[in-house]
Amino acid sequence: MCAAVLVIGSANADLVVPVDHRPAGGETVLGGDTVLSPGGKGANTAVAAGRLGASVALLGAVGPDAYGTLLRDSLTGAGVSLDHLRTVDRPTGIAYITVTPDGENSILVSPGANSALSPSDITDAALSGASVVVLSLEVPLATVSHAVSRAAASGATVLLNLSPAALLPTETLSAVDVLLVNEHEAAYLLGSTSADLTGLLALGPRAAVVTLGARGAVVITPEGPTSVASPTVRALDTTGAGDAFAGALAASLASGLSLTEAAHRAAAVAAVSVTRAGAQPSYPTAAEVF
């Protein structure tokens, strides 16, 4: 299958525990019942795009275990092609997530099979037909850098969700069409929480989008910044909201929308996602949002 959106990234099982507050160092906190759901930044992004009707494939890796089956079933249910999803002799990645009553979360990721994704997996067959290639950083950075270079050379629009935050080579960032970060990741890249967000373009990307949670997002182009409002909702669980934004942004760009138009749609999708529990199970269809 040649997909319009190719997502290169992680697939994890999410083990989510509700807590009154997150434990401090050396502290034990009793939580509620553990909820298992499919997650991982790559798989989440692919499912979000697929639910919106995009033609999408995931290039990633899972293990030969029940968690891998859970992820395959969720991806297939969202219409995501598994042609480039490998099964390797490593356990499927797991994310251990605590969620507080205000919907905020903290996450510890054990990459497992995601660590097996290598530059050699970025093939011409995988890139063929993709108009948008989306990447995130829960897989080896060498693979990400190689994939960005190959995707740019193929003529696809390269969308890099630089999360979890890490430093990438200048030549990698210079091949990126859209850099997607949240405000904390932006501060990491710029070295200050008060830095001018337009400074992100000096790192190399042609454009950037900074997500601001309930405050929406900012689209940054050489013409300047544009604010994008988010619908007002009551947050239940913010797990995977950034990935919902990324998937909706990619799907919208693949459909021919401008970056600002795509960001408006992505903000609406992310807002719906935080009103529901979990990551992939919370992602809406286009009919539920637009």
43 is in an annotated binding site: yes
Dist. CA 110–CA 93, nearest whole Å: 6
286 part of a folded domain: no
Q: Residue 19 sits in which domain range?
A: 5-280
Positions marked active-site: 243
Whole-model pTM: value is 0.94
**Reduced to 3 states, what is the DSSP secondary structure of residue 86?**
strand
* Residues 16-70 pLDDT 10s: 999 999 999 999 999 999 999 999 999 999 999 999 999 999 999 999 999 999 9
Dist. CA 221–CA 223, nearest whole Å: 5
162 part of a folded domain: yes
98 is in an annotated binding site: no
Residues in the chain: 290
115 part of a folded domain: yes
How many domains does the structure of the chain reveal? 1
Structure tokens at 239: 């797990």
* Residues 203-261 pLDDT 10s: 999 999 999 999 999 999 999 999 999 999 999 988 899 999 999 999 999 999 999 99
The 10 Å CB-count burial string (b at 16+, else e) for 217-240 is bbbbbeeeeeebebeeeeebbbbb
288 part of a folded domain: no
83 part of a folded domain: yes
CATH code of the domain containing 121: 3.40.1190.20
44 is in an annotated binding site: yes
Of 106, 32, 39, 102, which Cα lies nearest the Cα of 67? 39
* Residues 23-34 pLDDT 10s: 999 999 999 999
Dist. CA 118–CA 28, nearest whole Å: 38
